[in-house]
């Protein structure tokens, strides 16, 4: 948002390619996961990767045994299918999860984000400053939410954030309604 006020969208998209290119090149140097190697049956590589991960002097025998036991017990389980999600015992969880995603999409915050500069212009506030503050506020609130999610729980955070979204949307709607009709 900050660089977007200074640079053109073409320059901004080219700059956005830099981290992507670095990550793509870095993929060639990342070692395979010990668990993945063990799951594929590559025992020698699995032990070597685990030893590198824990350090050359670390005793990995217990951890290697636990990983092998876990993979063995995992292979004995039945392979899950997509239709298994629709069993009666999962219906409540599935409904809540899909319902939260639907409410998030129809909640309106994406529309506010997409049209933030226009909204700030119409409100008489500098759009560049407004969008930068909007982005900073999103980062701060996301950090606070991530820090509180395990302490406060998901339900209270959902109730507070949903109430804040509704209240903010009502205030914004009333302000624009009054601006047009008064």
What does the pLDDT average to over 15-25? 92
Task: List the structure tokens of 177.
Answer: 């309604």
Band the pLDDT of 23: cuts 50, 70, 90: very high
Mean pLDDT of 18-22: 93
Q: Which residues contact 135 (CB under 8 A, 6 or more apart)?
A: 1, 2
Q: Going along 43-161, which residue ranges are E strands?
A: none
The pLDDT value recorded for residue 25 is: 94
Check if the beta carbon of residue 118 is closer than 8 Å to that of residue 127: yes
Instruction: Give me the mean pLDDT over the 79-106 stretch.
Output: 83
- State pLDDT tens for residues 45-79: 888 888 887 878 888 888 888 888 888 888 887 78
Give the span between the Cα atoms of 169 and 107, in whole angstroms.
9
- Residue 19 has a pLDDT of 93
What is the average pLDDT across 89-109? 83
**Res 20 pLDDT > 90:** yes
pLDDT band (50, 70, 90) for residue 140: very high
* Residues whose CB is less than 8 angstroms from the CB of residue 32 and which lie 6 or more positions away in sequence, other chains included: 45, 49
**Would you say the C-alpha torsion 135, 137, 139, 141 has a positive or negative sign?**
negative
What is the average pLDDT across 122-143?
87
**pTM, 2 dp:** 0.55
∠ Cα 57 61 63 (to 5°): 100
Q: What is the pLDDT of residues 151-181, one digit of tens each?
A: 888 888 888 888 888 888 888 889 888 888 8
Identify which of 144, 65, 158 has the alpha carbon closest to the alpha carbon of residue 104. 158
Place of tokens 């980062």: 139
| pLDDT at residue number 164 | 85
CA atoms 139, 141, 144, 146: torsion sign: negative
Taking residues 86-114, what's their average pLDDT?
83
Question: How confident is the model at residue 26, as a pLDDT?
Answer: 92
């Amino acid at each position: 948002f900050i660089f977007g006020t200074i640079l053109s969208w073409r320059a901004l998209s080219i700059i956005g390619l830099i981290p992507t290119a670095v990550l793509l090149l870095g993929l060639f140097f990342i070692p395979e996961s010990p668990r993945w190697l063990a799951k594929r049956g590559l025992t020698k590589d699995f032990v070597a990767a685990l030893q590198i991960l824990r350090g050359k002097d670390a005793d990995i025998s217990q951890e290697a045994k636990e990983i092998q036991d876990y993979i063995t017990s995992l292979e004995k389980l039945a392979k899950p299918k997509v239709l298994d999600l629709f069993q009666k015992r999962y219906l409540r969880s599935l409904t809540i999860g899909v319902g939260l995603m639907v409410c998030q999409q129809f909640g309106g915050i994406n529309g506010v984000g997409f049209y933030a500069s226009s909204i700030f212009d119409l409100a008489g506030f500098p759009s560049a400053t407004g969008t930068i503050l909007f982005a900073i506020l999103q980062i701060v609130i996301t950090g606070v939410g991530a820090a509180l999610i395990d302490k406060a729980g998901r339900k209270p955070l959902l109730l507070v954030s949903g109430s804040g979204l509704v209240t903010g949307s009502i205030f914004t709607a009333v302000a624009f309604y009054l601006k047009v009709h008064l």
